Amino acid sequence: MIALGARLKGSQVVKTLGFKPNFCDYTHGEMDLIRRADTIYWPTAFYAGLFSAMNKKIFPSVNNYDFALDKIKQTAMFKLLDLPHPRTKLFYGKTQKQRITDLFKFPFIAKIPRGSSRGKGVFLIKGQNDLITYLKIPGPAYIQEYIPTQRDMRILIIGREIVLAFWRTAADNEFRTNLSQGGKISFSNLPSQALELALQTARCCNWNDVGIDIMEHQGKPMVIEANMKYGTQGFKAAGIDYQKLLERLILTGKI
């Protein structure tokens, strides 16, 4: 069993070859391993589509890579699947961006739609000055309704099952719940509806290594976004050895 990405580097179960964009830089032995492998784990964004095109089994799925760090595609998918999701709209170009305040009242959320993570590209737009500053960022404006809450849920799915779920509570004077922004973890009971929605979202989108963020609004769960490059702080807090968990799932044929 082999991997390209570093997720299982050092594992005694899966041999990690590392990522080399020039395929010819792999040794002949490594090339042979890649060609003969039943499954290639963490093939990287570069190779996932190539292996999928040649009908090579990979984990995680090619969809995982296609939607990673892309809020635009994720939102489009949520709407196509009619999944509950905060009201969101994209604005392209200067003319469209001038209409933002016609459709959204302050305060609202603005995000860097591609490439951002860990809460760094999420802004609470309280007034016109905040909006002017945000619109200086190149690219489309990703605008979302602001639903005040101090906590949400991170539900982690590997393969076809939930392996960990927890609440994230925002730090004082912070609207973001990200752990990297000071959010705190709680393992108190999560509503079953939220767990079911996370599983439904992952399965419908064919995401099999993902953290689904869920919030509650008016007593019902709502999908915020999907994180394919999730952190492992939650596993540490729960006393779970993340690498051994992955190895167990591989050895039992669950991934």
173 & 245 share domain = yes
| pLDDT the model gives residue 230 | 94
What is the model's pLDDT at position 14? 96
Q: What is the CATH number of the domain that holds 91?
A: 3.30.1490.20
Residue 40 lies in a domain: yes
Same domain, 91 and 105: yes
| Cα separation, 125 vs 140, whole angstroms | 16
Q: How confident is the model at residue 247, as a pLDDT? A: 97
Cα 124 to its chain centre, rounded Å, is 20
82 inside domain = no
What would the 3-class secondary structure string for the chain be? CEECCHHHCCCCCCEECCCCCCHHHCCHHHHHHHHHCCEEECCHHHHHHHHHHCCCEEECCHHHHHHCCEHHHHHHHHHHCCCCCCCEEEECHHHHHCCHHHHCCCCEEEECCECCCCCCCEEEECCHHHHHHHCCCCCCEEEEECCCCCEEEEEEEECCEEEEEEEEECCCCCCCCCHHHCCEEECCCCCHHHHHHHHHHHHHHCCCEEEEEEEEECCEEEEEEEECCCCCHHHHHCCCCHHHHHHHHHHCCCC
Q: Tally the domains of the chain.
A: 3
What parts of the chain have a pLDDT lower than 50? none
Confirm whether 68 is domain-assigned: no
Place of tokens 């709209």: 89
In a domain, residue 160? The reply is yes
| Alpha carbon distance 42, 98 (integer Å) | 42
Give the domain extent around 161: 149-251
Q: Is the peptide bond before 60 cis (omega within 30 degrees of 0)?
A: yes
The answer to whether 31 and 48 are in contact (CB under 8 A) is no
| Per-residue model confidence (pLDDT) at position 86 | 97
Q: Please check whether residues 92 and 138 belong to one and the same domain.
A: yes
- For residue 154, what is the domain's CATH number? 3.30.470.20
Is 234 within the bounds of a domain? Answer: yes
Residue 8 makes CB contacts below 8 A (sequence gap 6+) with 14, 16, 41, 42, 243, 246, 247
pTM of the predicted protein model: 0.93
- pLDDT for the residue 100: 98
Angstrom distance (rounded) from CA 154 to CA 225: 10
